[in-house]
Amino acid sequence: MHQKTIVEMAAGLRAGEFSSEELTRSCLQRIETHDAQLNSVITLTAEAALAAAQAADARLKTGDATPLTGIPYLHKDIFCTEGVRTSCGSRMLDNFEAPYDATVTARLKQAGAVMLGKTNMDEFAMGSSNETSFYGAVKNPWDTERVPGGSSGGSAAAVAARLAPLATGTDTGGSIRQPAALCGITGIKPTYGRVSRYGMIAFASSLDQAGPLATSAQDAAYMLEAMSGFDPRDSTSIDQPVESYAQSLEQDLRGLTIGLPREYFSEGLDAQVGAAVEAAIEEYRKLGAEVKEISLPNTALAVPAYYVVAPAECSSNLSRMDGVRFGYRCEDPKDLEDLYTRSRGEGFGAEVKRRILIGTYALSAGYYDAYYLKAQQVRRLIRDDFVQAFKDVDIIMGPTSPNTAFRLGERADDPVTMYLSDIYTIAVNLAGLPGMSIPAGMVDGLPVGLQLIGDYFAEGRLLNAAHRFQQVTDWHTRMPAGFE
């Protein structure tokens, strides 16, 4: 049952071949059997999941169902979920039970999807390998000695191992796309403002976006449609109708123009990864697309700009985690200063502290203009590069990650090398564009991801291009050994 797509699952539920409760029990059993190898789930909500599945079965009998009704999913532990621990992978929030649902949580619940539990993640979404979690590193199901990518590594590993057909993720600088690439699944980051951030614990408010992780573009289309839409409680949410992504999947690709940035195929890209990506692009030529070289000249500035903007915003957002209002509180503080200092010192991990310190420095009175303001100016140049490129092409393609999954601990003491893992994804967040990663090959038994970047609100076009590719290839159907 775990090898079915959600389209097949939904058809089986409607035909009465199996119930949502049976489907949910199957997923819960797979989590209990396999997750000890992966450490992808922080909190399993089995009792609540079975109750939701029973409610979905009743709804299916009335005919009042959506494509996601009765479909199980796993929720990244960054989304507030009423009455359930919402930890953000941090000791700071280890004891925090959200008193309300995030908008994404509420919309999936309204669609009838069944939440199985909350997935492991890099602490406060800060990381590219899922090694910074308070609950320990997540393992890649293709090779459990390697990382799954981050920060949505728990969600990506769980979907790749078919512990659940769908999972949510968030993407601040590549945190949906990079783990999707390293785990051999499909992940999409929508346009900034397309999915509400209300109740999604903030890392960098001008960059964060939620999106789905799934085995295929078709499955991701259904989940993204349920998650998207205007939310008056989120001041960055954009009031624009949500298209039916699933209905546009079958469009012909003849006439589509694909741009290949020369900066994405230069020094730093593993030769075998590059060859796999070029082979995938050749498939697009066979499907009738035109391919042309383009330039995004400010690509090299994306990483340094991001690592000023994102830490500055995280420094501001995490100031509320002080041991007073909620979260971790140190024992027997001597005074208020000791309470703040020890609660934050003991509650946050090393990577989060590093980024808070960088951000605080960049925002300080003597350095604001030199660092934060300059980074925002560079951000505009990066956006302008994309705006210019989309005058000539419909979609931009290239590698999602310069390498396949690296070994656990390999880059733990080298933050700069770790940060460069996201060199191809970060610019998309700085510009606020939609981007996705799809499986496009294997190198030495490890998945390779192809990144697709679209113009603003072109999620439908990206999903269409990804789906058509997946109709003529089988990379997205492959499963890691031991999890079949």
| Residues labelled catalytic | 76, 151, 175
Q: Name the one residue in this structure whose structure tokens are 């004891």.
A: 95
Residue 45 has phi, psi (to 5 degrees) of: -110, 65
Cα–Cα distance between 423 and 299 in angstroms, integer? 8
Contacts of 126 (CB under 8 A, 6+ apart): 132, 151, 203, 314, 351, 352, 355
Cα–Cα distance between 375 and 358 in angstroms, integer? 13
Cα–Cα distance between 89 and 136 in angstroms, integer? 9
Cα–Cα distance between 177 and 444 in angstroms, integer? 21
Residue 153 has phi, psi (to 5 degrees) of: -65, -35
Residue by residue, DSSP assigns 297-319 as TTGGGHHHHHHHHHHHHHHHHGG
Tokens of 187: 């992940």
Alpha helices in 91-150 (DSSP H): 103-111
Q: In what order do the strands lie in the sheet with 435-443?
A: 41-44, 114-119, 72-76, 166-171, 209-214, 186-189, 435-443, 446-454, 395-399, 257-261, 290-294
Cα–Cα distance between 361 and 372 in angstroms, integer? 10
Query: Residue 435 in 3-state DSSP?
Result: strand
Cα–Cα distance between 273 and 270 in angstroms, integer? 5
Cα–Cα distance between 409 and 259 in angstroms, integer? 35
Tokens of 442: 């294997």
Q: With CA atoms as reference, report the closest residue to 261 among 174, 418, 390, 377.
A: 390
